[in-house]
Structure 1
Amino acid sequence: MAVHYPDLLSTSILDLQTGIAAGHWTSVDLVNAYTARVAEANPALHAVIALNPDALSLAAACDAARAAAPAETRSPLFGIPLLIKDNISTQEMDCTAGSLALVGARTAHESTVASKLKEAGAIILGRANLSEWAYFRSWDNSSGFSGVGGQTYCAFHPQGDPSGSSSGSGSAMGAGLAAGTIGSETDGSIISPSTRNNCVGLKPTIGLVSRAGVVPISVSQDSAGPMCATVEDCAIILDAVAGPDDRDEATKRAPAARPSYLAAALDPGAIKRARIGRPKYGEKVPPAPYIQQAFDAAVDKIRAIGGVELVEVELAWTDALSEQLEKDEFQCLITEFKDGVNTYLAKLDEVPSGCRTLDDLIQFNIDHREQEMPERNAGQDMSVPPFARCRLPVYLEARERCLRHSTKEGLDKLFADYKLDAVITFSDRCLVSWLSAMAGYPLCSVPLGFLPDDVEPTKVLPLRRAPGFPFGLVMVGLPWSEAKLLSYAKAIEQVTQVRKTGKPFKAALPTTNLKDIVQSRTA
């Protein structure tokens, strides 16, 4: 029987494991294939900062373990190559947050996320580029720029803004440079680059996944999560990384018992028992007509599944409240950023640049302006005084308003009033997704469509809007409802099938595939 070799642009982790189990390919083959794809696409995308020099030996060890005990039950991630965002520390490679100030920095304790992935047998293939300091240096800087990795581009346009701070994770996943990627989000940085790069993203409830060893912005809002080709892949990664951790107090709030997220993702019929809200158009940012049309078409397909209840919902809101909460959220983030970064730097074993405080980093950028702050990426206004100073009472008042209006008077009320299981929305900047960031509630996105050919590109590079850009459908849930969201997302993924219809721009589409590697090895 002829072997079916999957296209690494859109294959799933389970399909890769099926081929390994059948003896059609190995983990070494996967590492070689993805390494070749990175070499081909990265000159155009700048999505990957570094590759793990130990990846091949780790893959060989996985293959040897399988040969020695073929019947042993292992995690679906065993021997699977993943990319991890460069603000999530690992022992074998520098964690720089994209800053030259952290090149060579060493930590005694890698991130819990990385440790749990390794425990599951995953191979950390390399580190993905990001917006430096997770896009918390200046709003005037472009998404995807870092002093270490340069400018990341969207996988679907040669001059495209990849969006969010997990820009390299999204761009790499859009071009199929790994079997899955890990990003992090404070407000939009998993979901936005996922929608921009035609992949599935999941931002977990704060406390479900440990932030220990992740370069911080906000102890209130930071979360790490998967960005993948399929809903099932996100579920597989979430199964591996979720759980309590003594190094992150927030994880103590999570329920002691966790469901199998993969089992949930494999039950798309769960949506037939769901009541899902869709917001009235005009919330926060009105959708463009083509996004509204794609969203409406998706809603029709969801309704056609049968059993699911779709209801139009509206949250009482005012422009004045939005303006107040935007100020409050920013106040919280800059306060927590300074405290968090100072604490993170102080705990590093070794920092060759000598930067041990936020003030040191600010001066480092000034001293290395050519590399760190060229052209339009010259700002660091969110880090410098007086923005990084805040009196405690001011911070506490701002945080209380953010929590109250996003939870008790926001999403909690919306879900209770309409008796909802989830809310789907047309873009990642809708009011309910913004509230979920401040509340620490989960979000999941699936591909929804692509901008039409007659869209006028923006003038500022990298382009924030241009023909061919992907966009996504975003789903909001209450705390710890990831299993629900994944099952609903799987059903939506099945009826829309958008991921399979998109192709990256030519220079970002690698030519090497798994078949090439296997056939060259067996020739």
Structure 2
Amino acid sequence: MRLLRLVSLSLVLAVGVAVPAPAAATPGLDLDRSTIPQLQRLMDRGELSSIGLTGRYLGRIATVDRKVRAVLAVDPTAIAQAAASDLRRRTGHARGPLEGIPVLLKDNVDTRGLDTTAGSRALRGKPPAADATLVRKLRAAGAVILGKANLSEWANYRSTKSTSGWSGVGGQTHNPHVLDRNPCGSSSGSGAAVAASLAQVAIGTETDGSIVCPAGANGVVGAKPSLGLVSRTGVVPISAEQDTAGPMARNVVDAAITLSALQGRDPADPPTADYPADQPTDYARELRPDALESARIGLWRQSGVNADVDRVVEEAAGVLRSRGAEVIDVELPYQDQIGAAEGAALLSEFTRDLPAYLRTRPGVPQSIAELVEFNRRDPVELSKFGQELFEQALTAPGTDDPGYREQRRTATALARDSIDETLAAHDLDAIVSPTNSPAWKTAYGEGDAFELGSSTPAAVAGYPNVSVPAGYAGALPIGVSLFAGRWADADVLSLAAAFENAAPVRRAPRYLPG
């Protein structure tokens, strides 16, 4: 994989485009702190080019990522894409808010000309024929597709004892803050890459926690949108009832801009027909510096599990109050019932949705049974942990089973009730809860040493959830998540941006050895 990455980088730098002076020469440019609006102003003034910006990120992938292992491969057309973007800008034909901005894609998002593997060696060497719908939207907004990010294989849905950030294709992604710590998952490479400034933004996907947990663990922003806001066509699935894709970035405004580009209806993905006609289309424009003033925020502390988390949550509550919010302690009901029903429902949905996706990929295994056999024969796939979920899927009831239908109804209804009832009972604008405990040491055999999270209610309900950095346990980031009712994406992003502005705690990783 290291060889593939270096070969890919050599190809990028050999496309015949004259690369200007590196972006580091641009006065005042700090990749770690720069936002998309700042970069756009520099490029509009001719003080920065997309070629220079893209080259800077490619250089960091070739050097910094040797420690992190977040990027599977770069797109050999990245510099050519950047050159085309610069030409569009010079001739007055810029496409949109992401013009010239380098974006990494989680490697379960179909991308023409690039392998899309979901981390599995079974899908190597047979690139998809077309871009996923969300990739087409990124290109239409002017983005430069920089490459593919590693992930927890099959989005962490292969083994009951999997280790986040490991895939048979990419190996182990490390947390850039402390390298022997885990980046969480399943959007492990996306979160770690953004934290390490290997791209301006990255795309993650989530079924339950796979955007917000790596955002929290790596100290970045992760926006899990309402189900139906972003198309899933061309994304390797677990469950059409919970899967979504969303942006990961170092700041809320970049996540808001990227979500605006991703959003859109797709006839091939029916839930995208459901979002309201008056849903905002420019989330950055909806960000209000005073969003916390007079807001009513429910605080779901989940205290007593980890002392550092308790401290960071209490500090976050103080920040909210300092900006005029009223903070009310709450408990979300039904969590045990939601978890029990969700697990059983996902297994049936996986048996329906993954084979349907595989049928769009000629030349790869066409069923879960064929994947199970591939893994048994492969020398790498089962070297760290097993495939218990795949094996359970072979005998799981189908989605026409009455028991399955009751589990899905129970999970979704109770998840929505847990949020909606809490919001209504206290007249709340949103709920805040810790995203993650400090990252655990990466190890194999027993799976992740996961302590706590808050992703399940919003994930199962299909409601928006945004994680934003809130503090640290030593060198390890801790985030808080803000979530609310369905289609409240603009409100949640605005509250998150106001919190970020009031508590700018995020810092660049130091790549400590542990």
Question: Is the pair's TM-score, using the shorter chain for normalization, greater than 0.5?
Answer: yes
Aligned partner of 1:367 in structure 2 is 377
Work out which of the residue numbers 484, 488, 492 in structure 1 matches 2:499: 492
1:446 to 462, 465, 468: 468
Counterpart CA distance in 1 for 2:26 and 2:153 is 43
- Residue 306 of structure 2 corresponds to 288
Corresponding residue of 2:31: 8
- Tell me the TM-score normalized by structure 1: 0.87
**Structure 1 residue 109: Cα displacement:** 3.4
Q: CA offsets, 1:62-94, max 9 Å, x none?
A: 11122222xx56422001101010001111211
TM-fit CA distance, 1:387: 6.0
Q: Which amino acid aligns with 1:488?
A: L
Match of 2:431 among 399, 406, 423: 423
Q: Which of 320, 325, 349 does residue 338 from structure 2 map onto?
A: 325
Structure 1 counterpart SS, 2:291: helix
Paired residue type of 2:510: P
Q: What letter matches 1:445 in structure 2?
A: S
Are 1:8 and 1:176, in contact at CA under 8 Å, matched by a contact in 2? yes
AA matched with 1:420: L
List aligned pairs for 1:142-221, cutoff 5 A: 142-221=163-242
Aligned-residue sequence identity (percent) comes to 38
Match for residue 413 of structure 1 among 413, 421, 445:
421
- Letter paired with 2:424: A
**SS of aligned partner of 2:284:** helix
Of Structure 1 and Structure 2, which has the larger fraction of its residues in helix? 1
Post-superposition shift, 1:280? Answer: 4.8
Which digits, 9 at most, give the CA deviation of each residue in 1:447-475, with x for residues without a partner? 011213xxxxxxxxxxxxxxx22110111
Does 1:401 pair with 2:410? yes
Contact 1:10 1:176 in 2 (8 A): no
Higher relative contact order (Cα pairs below 8 Å, separated by 6+ residues): 1
* Contact 1:226–1:237 (Cα < 8 Å) also in 2: yes
Aligned partners of 1:271, 1:168: CA distance in 2, in Å? Answer: 32
> 1 CA distance for matches of 2:199 and 2:301?
37
The letter of the residue matching 1:382 is: L
Identify the residue that residue 465 of structure 1 maps to in structure 2: none
Q: How does 1:52-63 map to 2 (within 5 A)?
A: 52-63=75-86
Taking only aligned residues, the RMSD between alpha carbons, in angstroms, comes to 1.9
Distance of 1:128 and 1:137 partners within structure 2:
19
Unaligned runs of 5+ in 2: 1-24, 437-450
| Residues 1:79 and 2:104 aligned together | no
Q: Which of the numbers 457, 462, 472 marks the counterpart of 1:435?
A: 457
Q: Displacement, 1:316?
A: 4.0
Per the alignment, residue 314 of structure 1 pairs with 331
The 2-side partners of 1:63 and 1:315 are apart by 49
Worse-superposed segment, 80-89 or 154-163? 154-163
- Write the deviation string for residues 206-255 of structure 1: whole angstroms up to 9, x where unpaired: 00111110000011110100000110000000110111110101111111
1:394, distance to aligned residue in structure 2 (A): 1.5
Q: Which residue matches 2:74?
A: 51
* Aligned-residue offset at 1:103: 0.8
Aligned residue for 1:425, secondary structure, equals strand
Structure 1 stretch displaced more, 412-421 or 105-114: 105-114
Give SS of 1:219's match: coil
Tell me which residue corresponds to 2:317.
299
Helix, strand or coil: the match of 1:258?
coil
Cα deviation for residue 506 of structure 1 reads 5.4
Return the alpha-carbon distance in structure 2 between the equivalents of residues 196 and 402 of structure 1: 26
Taking structure 1 as reference, are residues 507 and 28 closer, same or farther at Cα in structure 2, changes over 3 Å only? farther
Could you tell me whether the CA contact under 8 Å between 1:334 and 1:387 is conserved in 2? no
Cα contact 2:368–2:394 (8 A) shared by 1: no
Could you tell me whether the CA contact under 8 Å between 2:464 and 2:488 is conserved in 1?
yes
2:504 corresponds to 1:483: no
CA contact (8 A) 2:223 2:246 kept: yes
| Equivalent-residue separation in structure 2 for 1:135 and 1:337 (angstroms) | 12
Work out whether 1:264 is the aligned partner of 2:286. Answer: yes
Query: What is the distance in 2 between the residues matched to 1:502 and 1:381?
Result: 37
SS at match of 1:271: coil
Native 8 Å contact 1:170 1:194 kept in 2: yes
Letter matched to residue 337 of structure 1: F
- Aligned-partner Cα distance in 1 for 2:414–2:79: 49
**Aligned CA distance change for structure 1 residues 261 and 219 (closer, same or farther; 3 Å):** same
SS at match of 1:400: helix
TM-score of the pair, normalised by structure 2: 0.88
1:104 aligns with 2:125: yes
Flag the 1:339–1:420 CA change in 2: closer, same or farther, 3 A.
Answer: same
Partner of 1:355: 365
Judge conservation of contact 2:190–2:204 (CA < 8 Å) in 1: yes
2:511 pairs with one of 505, 508, 512: 505
Counterpart amino acid of 2:316?
A: A
Contact residue 335 and residue 388 of structure 1 kept, 8 A: no
> One-letter code of the match for 1:475?
L
Cα 1:507/1:67, change in 2 over 3 Å: farther
Provide the rounded CA distance (Å) in 2 between the counterparts of 1:333 and 1:313: 28
Aligned residue pairs, count: 473
Q: 1:51 to 1:239 in 2, by over 3 A?
A: same
Residues 492 and 250 (structure 1), Cα distance of their counterparts in 2 relative to 1, 3 Å cut: same
Q: Show CA shifts across 1:343-377 (max 9, x none).
A: 001122x32xx411111111101110x22121xx2
Distance in 1 (CA, whole Å) between partners of 2:397 and 2:230 is 28
| Change in 2 beyond 3 A, CA 1:281/1:215 | closer
Distance 1:3 1:344, change over 3 A: closer
Mapped partners of 2:332, 2:257: distance in 1: 34
SS at 1:399's partner residue?
helix
Q: Structure 1 residues 386 and 5, CA, compared in 2 at 3 Å: closer, same or farther? A: closer
In 2, Cα distance between the equivalents of 1:418 and 1:302?
17
Other structure's SS at 2:174 match: coil
Q: Secondary structure at the match of 1:372?
A: coil
Task: Give the Cα–Cα distance (whole angstroms) in 2 for the partners of residues 254 and 86 of structure 1.
Answer: 27
- 2:332 and 2:196 mapped to 1: Cα distance? 37
1:21 aligns with 2:44: yes
Contact persistence 1:202–1:226 (CA under 8 A): yes
When residues 498 and 80 of structure 1 are mapped into structure 2, their CA distance, relative to the original with a 3 A threshold, is: same
**How far is 1:416 from its partner?**
1.0
